[in-house]
Structure 1
Amino acid sequence: MASSPMASSTPSPRPNLLFRHLRGQRSPSEFAAVIRRAAREIGERVSCDARYIGRVEAGEIRCPNYAYERVFLHMFPGRTLTDLGFAPRSAVRGRGARALSEAPAPHTTAPAPHTTIQLYESSPSGPTGPETHECDPYEIQSHEESDVRRRAFMSGTATVAAASLGPFGLASQNPAAATAQRGGRAGEAEVSAVEEAVRKIRLLDDRHGADGLYRRAGAPLRTAYALLDAGTTRQSTADRLHAGAGELAISVGWLAHDSGRFDDARSHYAEALATARMASDPALEAHAFCNTAFLARDSGRPREAVRASQAATRAARHLSSSRLLSLLALREAGGWAGLGDKAGCEQALTRAHALFDRGPSDADPEWMTFYGPAELEGLEAQCWSALGDWERAARHARRAAGVASAQTPQFTRNIALYTAELADDLARAGRPDEAATAGLRVLGLLDEVQSSRIQSMLATTARVLLPHRRASGVCGFLERHASLPRAV
């Protein structure tokens, strides 16, 4: 996504003195080698060097990506990211996120803290501003692959928070909305409001899922495109506004996609793609095509999934992100699998693994921070399932669940998803006893995880296992599954 340099009035990054203290007497190169060695101990690959250490200590990297996070928490057990001197992830989640007090506002007299596209009307029961709680390393996961990583409400406070959400609208005093309504030109404050809306929608989606959010997300998107129509005073501002509006269209499209509104999602993704083309923004174009490919696969249009993935790869070719290219190769593999083309699928999977093994980089887009070793295995499992190779699918699903359990043991929603995939693959592979054992593990997690996708997968597994009800453990699984409360 295109971006402009920060204004000269923006405060310089705050040095990370805590991280510098942890380095001790070692040189940046020596400390980088220690980090790479720690990464290998847990099966991660990070391209850490002295330059990365320097950027962290200078405060340029406010919060590390998930690969580095896992390594740092392994190196310093018992500490959180904030203990290591990083900012809470909620403060930097999403492209363009920044402290509202830092955003210059040369085109409006309203104070910067009010320069947000409101997701809620002000009320005692609803949020009224950016969240300020400390970063939980396992709390936030990016939104791309499945509803379980956003729709799984952890029991207790998350459920209460979801129940207390206010209406999704624009406050009348909001500068971005006011500017759009009066036809005035957009400046830094209005663009920052659009970027903040993208960040907040992603955070809400991460925690609460698409249900209930999609219908409320239209107002910020309409405001963003009204600002585009109004125009800007500088080209750099126009580039940021195009990028922000496009990312907002993708976010709203994902809410539609994730909640089963495939036609609406297709329209929003097309809108984002048109915005990317008009702004000559290859990063936004790659993101739009990536989501289009995912939607095409889910909609039963595998050939379109292949074409969209290939188009995304062409757009991303010069973005210097091997992880992005790896994800796009997996999108293509899913399309080939849907077409029953095993050779094409295997070629794309080989390319995905080779690109993934190059490791993360600073060029990786913020929106794909979910993409790690467990997700790689999980997506490959889906490919082999589509090809009917249940044994191979089960092998990769088992790896996905194992990696997720080892690297993010508190992230029960991912573990539940991959284990549910494993149970279904084992059932179809003719191993009912093992499938029942895996299914029971998932059922044991449902007190903490609520996901329509997991419920649907378990229901399918139960139907497959019905003829094997006399096999060891199967009857217990079927009885326990039958006792689950049905969704209203």
Structure 2
Amino acid sequence: MVDIDWTPDELEALRAALRMNKVEFCKRIGVTARAHRDWLTGQTQNMREANRRQLFEVLADAEPEQRARFWELVRKGTTDPGTDEQTTEGLAGKANCGGSKLGLYSWEVGEDDVRRRDFGKAALTGSAFVLLGAKSGQIGMSDVTRLGEGVVALESEDQRLGGGRLVDFAVTELAKAKHWREVGTYDTAVGDAFTIATGELAVMAGWLAYDADRQSLARRCYADAMALGCEANDPDLIARTCLIGGGQLLGLARRGKARPQVALKLATRARDLMRGTPPGRIHALIAVREAQAYGLLCERSAFERAIATAWREMDQASDFEPLDECPRWLWAVTPAEIAAHEARGRAEFEEYDRSIALFDSVADVERFPRNVINIAAWRAVIRARAGDLHGAVAEAVPVLDTLTGLTSIRTLRNLEPIRASVDKNPVGGEFSDKFDALLTKATSA
């Protein structure tokens, strides 16, 4: 269910969506007519938690068309003409965005999203992540700045917590930002900047959803980011979406759930958009995505060309592109990142010794905590593919230990080949038990 304030307008939207009169509605939600009347006059502070839960359950149990009608009425701020009265104040015209206007995201969040979103809010307490400070509906550059700082805060918390604990919070904030774009007032320059900032939040939400193994939600976020980039005519945002979204497709392709060719097309689009820009990290990342795709397609010559280009661009960036002069999201594009992806590609051609050597060369220099964990996971998988199950398990168990406090199903999925290799093999006893327990916990949360 989704986190709804249950204001008078939202109560009336639910009643209208269900096509009930007041008597029927009170009976359905299990309250007296007097309690319902008090709520409609603004005394929702008297609403008990059990009442709120019952309203959530009624909405969750509604037919799909009724739920769609509810969200449409919330968005418009009016009840359906077929009911016995209209609401007195439209939500869309209100200054604050207190309601949960999640639109198409509403039914892609988990049943425990209230708990997870509360955790996300608590995790970000004291950070810069405050969506909008304005109360009048006017959007200014301060709101654009605040939204951008929020994305940075989410990136930082992702390194510490993982996507599973943050994704619902991020998706809710994305829905609010999209809502403000529709109902707020702003000039052209601010509107374009706010659109781009919202697109950057959409990319971040997509990444968190991917990390939490909520693939359809990730795709929805990336599609939003792409649309926002096109609307603002911002090639940087479009290219970023292509490359981050392409990373999701490559991850799924390794599990047989996507085609590398699609990721290759996204990388090509990013290359076309960035054509003419100076050499640097963006070009290195484009080449890395191409190399990843060619590795999965077992096209050796194309892989060699792409990885050589990635190294050449990385060398150019190291010499001529100061880190503080490139977008923050590209800071993770480092020589260690290039080497790690080359190592994975080498393994596709069964160059296992060379792959492990590359991983060994970057294990101590990688400065992003999540990347350190994933490098260890990838290296363990390569050992398993090379037939060294004892070595693979010895390296994978500590990775599982780090995941006990980190909600990243993506990393667990990376270790699935080891779990399959040691199935019914005594060498994998401890690893199998920990892996199964973590995966069960992560997928049932």
> 2-side partners of 1:444 and 1:317: how far apart?
43
Match of 2:428 in 1: 478
TM-score (norm 2): 0.61
> 1-side partners of 2:119 and 2:411: how far apart?
35
Q: Percent identity?
A: 26
Within the candidate set 387, 394, 410, 1:440 is matched to: 394
Match of 1:429 in 2: 386
Deviations 1:267-295 (Å, cap 9, x if unpaired)?
22121112112212121111011122112
Match of 1:273 in 2: 226
Letter of the 2:262 counterpart = E
Moved more, 446-455 or 270-279: 446-455
Letter of the 2:374 counterpart = L
> 2-side partners of 1:429 and 1:192: how far apart?
49
TM-score (norm 1): 0.56
Within the candidate set 369, 372, 377, 2:331 is matched to: 369
> 1-side partners of 2:270 and 2:344: how far apart?
21
Secondary structure class of the residue paired with 1:359: helix
> 1-side partners of 2:227 and 2:390: how far apart?
47
> 1-side partners of 2:364 and 2:229: how far apart?
38
Letter of the 1:260 counterpart = D
Deviation at 1:244, TM superposition (A): 0.5
> 1-side partners of 2:212 and 2:119: how far apart?
26
Match of 1:419 in 2: 376
**Do 2:192 and 2:232's aligned partners in 1 also have CA atoms closer than 8 Å?**
yes
**Do 1:122 and 1:128's aligned partners in 2 also have CA atoms closer than 8 Å?**
no
Letter of the 1:336 counterpart = Y
Secondary structure class of the residue paired with 2:165: coil
Give the alignment of 1:32-431 within 5 angstroms. 127-130=124-127, 175-176=133-134, 178-179=135-136, 184-230=137-183, 233-299=186-252, 300-320=258-278, 322-360=280-318, 361-362=321-322, 363-385=325-347, 387=348, 389-390=349-350, 392-406=351-365, 408=367, 414-430=371-387
> 2-side partners of 1:122 and 1:481: how far apart?
29
Return the structure number with greater helix share.
Answer: 2
**Cα separation, partners in 2 of 1:124 and 1:383, compared to 1, 3 Å:** closer
> 1-side partners of 2:218 and 2:143: how far apart?
25
> 1-side partners of 2:212 and 2:399: how far apart?
23
Point out where structure 2 has 5 or more consecutive residues left out of the alignment: 1-115, 253-257
Deviation at 1:249, TM superposition (A): 0.9
> How many pairs align?
312
> 1-side partners of 2:121 and 2:189: how far apart?
38
| More RCO (CA 8 Å, sep 6+) | 1
Secondary structure class of the residue paired with 1:216: helix
**Do 1:277 and 1:285's aligned partners in 2 also have CA atoms closer than 8 Å?**
yes
Deviations 1:100-120 (Å, cap 9, x if unpaired)?
xxxxxxxxxxxxxxxxxxx97
> 1-side partners of 2:237 and 2:212: how far apart?
23
> 1-side partners of 2:433 and 2:123: how far apart?
35
> 2-side partners of 1:482 and 1:444: how far apart?
13
Deviation at 1:421, TM superposition (A): 1.9
Letter of the 1:478 counterpart = G
Q: CA RMSD in A?
A: 3.3
**Do 2:246 and 2:266's aligned partners in 1 also have CA atoms closer than 8 Å?**
yes
